[in-house]
């Protein structure tokens, strides 16, 4: 697809996540605005001595932990973000977590990356340049000239940044922020963002809306289906004793491979394999599972060695999730695969 001409207008760039290419939601654009209000009340109950007219700073880890309760706050994750502030041509810094109340700008971010800003009753924070930075959103592709001398920052979903920290990629791990921005901007210059502004669209508005609803509305970091799979695997009863357990390993693998092929297996295939292993008491080698389940998609998995036992019950549960992705249903796993797909595309060094 041909590149879109760069924007040079004076329109305020929308806050787009540098890592996933999706617009950061503002709290006033949530499908259920009261959801963010309830999210904040979790803190007001605990921080009773704080004045809700002013901004409250809490631990960024605490905020991420709270959003693991996605059943209570399923959309709040899309409002929580960090920013990479440009201090000079070569110097950048990462901010703490904040939320966007509206898209008018300028925006505010807490300077301490270990802190998160929980908004009070006022839309803008009690501005203190020792605590906050006021900035404008950086355009992922090309910054409008009108913002040339202003402080700009690249937005990143807090959940996308946490997911980024789970990816094992020699090219991206421990990389300097300036180089990270360069790599991602080069990527988005050649690929369509998933933002909702006409400046970013390639597909029709209806198609784009459908893609966003099905694939980017759920957190790529917190996937309830995976948490349920982990709990279910721990609750499984397994008694590794059977007359069939004396069969040679090569025969066990041959039969298991016939029941569940390496590729294009179905949920039914996974269930049949599970029933067989539970009934026969078989233990299959690590490579059998690695050939059927892309472990890079599931950072929740403990990486087994060739000699350590593998939690095959959990892997079977996760295989059921992967096998079910043929249907276009809303899922954080689908969004995770999309976000990680961008990250993995950046693994290869530039020529």
What is the CA 234 to chain-centroid distance, rounded? 25
Domain ranges of the chain: 27-221+339-345, 224-326
Confidence of residue 348 (pLDDT cuts 50, 70, 90): low
Closest CA to 308 of 277, 278, 287, 280: 287
CA–CA separation, 196 and 211 (whole Å):
11
How sure is the predictor about 8, in pLDDT bands with cuts at 50, 70 and 90? very low
Distance CA 194, CA 203 (A): 10
User: Tokens standing for 31?
Assistant: 């499908």
Distances (CA, A) of 337 to 219, 284, 298, 329, 341: 11, 27, 10, 14, 6
Number of Cβ within a 10 Å radius of residue 63: 23
pLDDT value of residue 165: 87
Which residue is it, tokens 């080069």?
Answer: 186
Asked if residue 180 has pLDDT above 60, the reply is yes
What confidence score (pLDDT) does residue 113 get? 94
pLDDT per position as a tens digit, 30-80: 665 566 666 766 665 555 555 555 567 888 888 887 777 666 677 788 889
pLDDT of residue 128: 63
Q: Which residues pair with 23 in a beta bridge?
A: 16
**Residue 254 pLDDT exceeds 90:** yes
Q: What percent of the chain has pLDDT over 70?
A: 68
Q: Spell out the long-range contacts of 323-331 with Cβ–Cβ below 8 A and sequence spacing 24 or more.
A: 323/265, 323/266, 323/267, 323/269, 323/270, 324/267, 328/214, 329/214, 330/213, 330/214, 330/215, 330/217, 330/218, 331/218, 331/223, 331/225
Q: Quick: pLDDT tens for 104-129.
A: 668 888 999 999 987 654 555 555 66
Q: What is the pLDDT of residue 68?
A: 73
What would the mean pLDDT of 341-351 be, rounded to a whole number?
A: 73
- SS3 (DSSP) at 85: strand
**Residue 158: its pLDDT value, please?**
94
Q: At what angle do helices 312-323 and 224-235 cross, to 10 degrees?
A: 140
Matching residue, tokens 């709990």: 231
Predicted pLDDT at 283: 85
Show Cβ contacts of residue 195 under 8 Å, excluding neighbours closer than 6 positions: 14, 16, 21, 22, 23, 201
pLDDT number for residue 88? 81
pLDDT class for 214, splitting at 50, 70, 90? very low
Comparing 46 with 222, the larger pLDDT belongs to 222
CA distances from 120 to 40, 47, 111 (A): 9, 12, 18
pLDDT tens by residue, 271-308: 999 999 888 888 888 899 989 998 888 988 877 666 66
pTM above 0.85, yes or no: no
Token pair, residue 94, equals: 């990462």
Query: Which of 334, 349, 350, 294 is closest to 20 using CA atoms?
Result: 334
Backbone torsion region of residue 195, taken as left when φ is above 0, otherwise alpha when ψ lies between -120 and 50, otherwise beta: beta
Q: What is the mean pLDDT of residues 195-206?
A: 40
Tell me the per-residue pLDDT of 135-173, one tens digit each, with 9 for 90 and over: 988 888 777 777 777 888 999 999 999 999 888 776 676
Which DSSP helix (H) or strand (E) runs through 161?
helix 158-164
In the predicted model, what is the mean pLDDT of the chain? Answer: 77
What local confidence, expressed as pLDDT, does residue 258 receive?
A: 93
94 pLDDT band (50/70/90 cuts)? very high
Query: Does residue 12 surpass a pLDDT of 70?
Result: no
d(CA 5, CA 2): 9
Cα torsion angle, 80, 86, 90, 95, sign: negative
Mean per-residue pLDDT, 165-188:
83
Give pLDDT, residue 199: 38
Does the pLDDT of residue 244 top 60, yes or no?
Answer: yes
pLDDT grade for 203, boundaries at 50, 70 and 90: very low
Other beta carbons within 10 Å of 220? 25
2-6, Cβ contacts within 8 angstroms, sequence gap of 24 or more:
3/189, 3/190, 4/141, 4/199, 4/202, 6/141, 6/142
Structure token pair of residue 142: 């090309």
């Amino acid at each position: 697809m041909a590149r879109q001409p760069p924007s040079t207008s004076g329109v305020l760039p929308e806050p787009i996540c540098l890592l996933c290419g999706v617009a950061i939601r503002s709290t006033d654009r949530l499908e259920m605005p009261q959801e963010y209000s309830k999210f904040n009340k979790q803190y007001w109950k605990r921080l009773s001595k704080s004045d809700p007219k002013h901004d409250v700073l809490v631990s960024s880890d605490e905020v991420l932990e709270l959003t693991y309760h996605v059943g209570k706050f399923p959309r709040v994750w899309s409002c929580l973000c960090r920013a990479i502030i440009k201090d000079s041509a070569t110097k950048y810094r990462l901010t703490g977590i904040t939320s966007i109340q509206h898209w008018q700008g300028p925006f505010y971010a807490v300077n301490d990356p270990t802190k998160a800003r929980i908004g009070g009753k006022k839309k803008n924070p009690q501005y203190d340049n020792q605590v906050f930075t006021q900035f404008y959103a950086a355009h992922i592709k090309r910054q409008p000239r009108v913002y040339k001398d202003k402080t700009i920052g690249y937005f990143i979903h807090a959940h996308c940044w946490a997911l980024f920290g789970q990816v094992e990629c020699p090219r991206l791990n421990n990389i300097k922020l300036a180089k990270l921005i360069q790599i991602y901007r080069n990527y988005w210059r050649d690929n369509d963002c998933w933002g909702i502004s006409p400046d970013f669209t390639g597909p029709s508005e209806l198609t784009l809306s459908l893609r966003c609803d099905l694939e980017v509305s759920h957190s790529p970091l917190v996937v309830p289906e995976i948490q349920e799979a982990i709990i279910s695997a721990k609750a499984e009863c397994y008694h590794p004793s059977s007359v069939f357990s004396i069969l040679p390993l090569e025969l066990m693998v041959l039969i298991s491979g016939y029941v569940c092929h390496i590729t294009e297996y179905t949920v039914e295939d996974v269930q049949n394999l599970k029933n067989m292993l539970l009934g026969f008491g078989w233990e299959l080698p690590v490579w059998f599972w690695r050939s059927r389940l892309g472990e890079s998609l599931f950072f929740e998995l403990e990486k087994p060695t060739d000699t350590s036992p593998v939690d095959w019950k959990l892997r079977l549960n996760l295989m059921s999730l992967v096998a079910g992705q043929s249907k276009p249903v809303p899922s954080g796993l689908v969004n995770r695969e999309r976000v990680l797909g961008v990250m993995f595309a950046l693994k290869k060094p530039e020529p």
